[in-house]
Amino acid sequence: MSTNQPPDRGTGAPSALGSRSGSDVGTVTGTGAPSEAATGPVMVQRTVVAALVLLVVPLLTFAIAVTLGDETALAFALICVVHVLLLVYAGIVTAGQLRARTPPRLVEAVPPLAAFLAALATLGLAQVLADAEGIRTSAVPRLRHGIPLPEDLPFVLSVHLAALAALVAIAALPLMMRRTRTVRALPGRIGEVAGKLGDTADDADSPRTPRPPVTSAKDPLLRRLLSPASRVLLVLGSLAALAGTLVFALAELPQPTAEAMTFVIVLCPAPAMLWAVLSSLWRRDAELGILMAALYRTMAVPVLGAIVGLLPAFLAFLVPPVGHGFAEQYRAAVGDSGIVPEGSPLVMFFVLGALLSLLVGMLGGLALSIAVIMPLLTLFRPEQLVGENGLSTNRADRRQNVAAMRLMSLLVILIFVFAILIADADAGEPRFTWAMVTLAVLVGLTVAIKRLQRKKGDRRPDVPSPEDDSR
């Protein structure tokens, strides 16, 4: 790593929208509750415990359902015990975030996310077991009328405990966010934005110091593409895809659940892909800047994520018992309505699933780049885009170039709106009329941007001209 580039989690790695947290906030060993100082091994241990919770809780629920399928009341009672333990873990994690006062690290989001996903997974498995026993929709009415079956009350309790664990776990995330410097500075930021509306030309023209780069071409490819949180999400997505494959292969699922499970398996790597793109806001690249780095990650990260995210699930599929169970379940519950063409070998599920995951990652990353990152930059960091696009940073031209970049952000979004409106629109329909109105606005924006832009010339963007102000 270059000596002039701060690490991802250093104290000086700021956000494009505000200073980024980097203090050494850890957790009580193994629980996920933040402590004032944590060593590297402690944080690794916390991540391992969270991964084990995500993997073990659904598998334990599944094992109980398979082993005690004939004794439904006992099975749901044991599942209630599992959910109580998960609720305790989620409570410890959230209570730790409530007590913490120092700015958080991204890795602190791993335990609450793992507990939340584990709660959703075990809740789904409990619903599948109840559906197989025919009590999923009838348990509550029987309890209300005082004629319950032995398994009705344990089932309802297990559902409420899992839902409560999910809510308690996800509550840790806003508690983390309230401690970030960006959120703490939000009132002042809102006042700053409001003040800009009445700024004079001289005030609006004053440049802001660009944030130091976090990555560069000298960094390893993995570090340049993926933030630490994205790597954690990719590992969790791989584990979730593996767990989904095992559940699909070894459990008897109703048709709607089985079809949904196939798409969940292939889309597990998508959150890591999208977070890698979104993190470009605070992970500026020395050569690519922010927006181009986001587009670069939009194209590169899904390729890596689709392969790494589905590889463990594919290797599990190659194990004969899992492969046979997966094939039987797929043909019986999904059949021709899935992503595998009729008559094709079932290994195509993972090939086409990787392509579907790749497509979702690229389209989602493009949407984030255009609809989120670019508008935020034009609002809060317009000078960043002005410099990255080779436009003049001269004080006399800066105001016009900032306006041009903000109009450019609106132009790009309206291009997609026009494409959606004009598709399958017939002349005379309101949809066609709105498409033509959008087209007229696009033409007007193009003309305005062309007239507003002031270019530097042929000099490199990182070399200021004599008439340019230092940035």
How would you write the pLDDT of the chain (471 residues) with one tens digit per residue? Answer: 444 444 444 444 444 334 334 333 444 444 444 444 455 676 678 788 888 998 899 899 888 888 886 788 888 899 999 999 999 999 998 888 888 778 888 888 888 999 999 999 998 888 888 888 888 888 888 888 888 888 889 899 998 999 999 999 988 888 888 877 777 776 666 556 555 544 433 444 455 556 678 888 898 989 999 999 999 999 999 999 999 999 898 888 888 888 888 999 999 999 999 999 999 988 888 888 888 899 999 999 999 999 999 999 999 999 998 999 998 888 888 877 778 887 788 889 999 999 999 999 999 999 999 888 888 888 777 777 777 777 776 776 777 878 888 888 888 888 888 888 888 777 767 778 888 888 899 898 888 888 887 776 534 444 454 444 444
Radius of gyration (Cα) for the chain, nearest Å? 26
Angle value at C-alpha 338, between 332 and 340, nearest 5 degrees: 100
The CA–CA distances, whole Å, from 275 to 163, 264, 309 equal 25, 18, 14
SS3 455: strand
User: From CA 272, how far away is CA 357, in angstroms rounded?
Assistant: 11
Task: Give the integer Cα–Cα distance in Å for 51 and 312.
Answer: 15
37: part of which helix (H) or strand (E)?
Answer: none
Q: Find out whether 50 and 114 touch, Cβ atoms under 8 Å.
A: yes
338 to 9, 62, 273, 326: CA distances (angstroms): 42, 24, 24, 13
Q: In whole angstroms, what is the distance from residue 106 CA to residue 70 CA?
A: 44
423-426: long-range contacts at Cβ-Cβ below 8 A with a sequence spacing of 24 or more? none
Q: What is the pLDDT of residue 459?
A: 44
The CA distance from 1 to 286, in Å, is 13
How is residue 210 written in tokens? 């660009």
Q: DSSP class of residue 282?
A: T
Q: What letter does residue 32 receive in the DSSP assignment?
A: -
Half-sphere exposure of 239 (CA within 13 A, CB side): 21
Residues making up the chain, counted from first to last? 471
Which amino acid belongs to residue 97?
Q
Give the alpha-carbon dihedral of 306, 309, 311, 312, to 10 degrees. Answer: -170
pLDDT at position 188 is 65
**Rounded Cα–Cα distance for residues 268 and 310 (Å):** 8
Q: For position 81, what pLDDT does the model report?
A: 92
* Contact yes or no for 207/469 (Cβ under 8 A): yes
Burial of 224 from C-beta contacts in 10 A (0-12 / 13-18 / 19+): buried
Eight-class DSSP state of 34: E
Burial class (CB in 10 A: 0-12, 13-18, 19+), 461: middle
CA dihedral sign, ordered 440, 442, 444, 447: negative
Q: Is the Cβ–Cβ distance between 415 and 442 less than 8 Å?
A: yes
SS3 27: strand
The Cα–Cα gap between 283 and 315 comes to 34
At 274 the pLDDT is 93
Residues 6+ apart with CB under 8 A from 353: 262, 265, 266, 310, 339
Q: Which residues pair with 215 in a beta bridge?
A: 285
Element holding 198 (H helix, E strand): none
Identify the CA nearest to 309 among candidates 221, 229, 232, 235: 235
Look up residue 385 and give its two tokens. 């885009």
Residue type, 188: G
The whole-angstrom distance between residue 462's C-alpha and the CA centroid of its chain comes to 32
Q: How far apart are CA 226 and CA 222, in angstroms?
A: 6
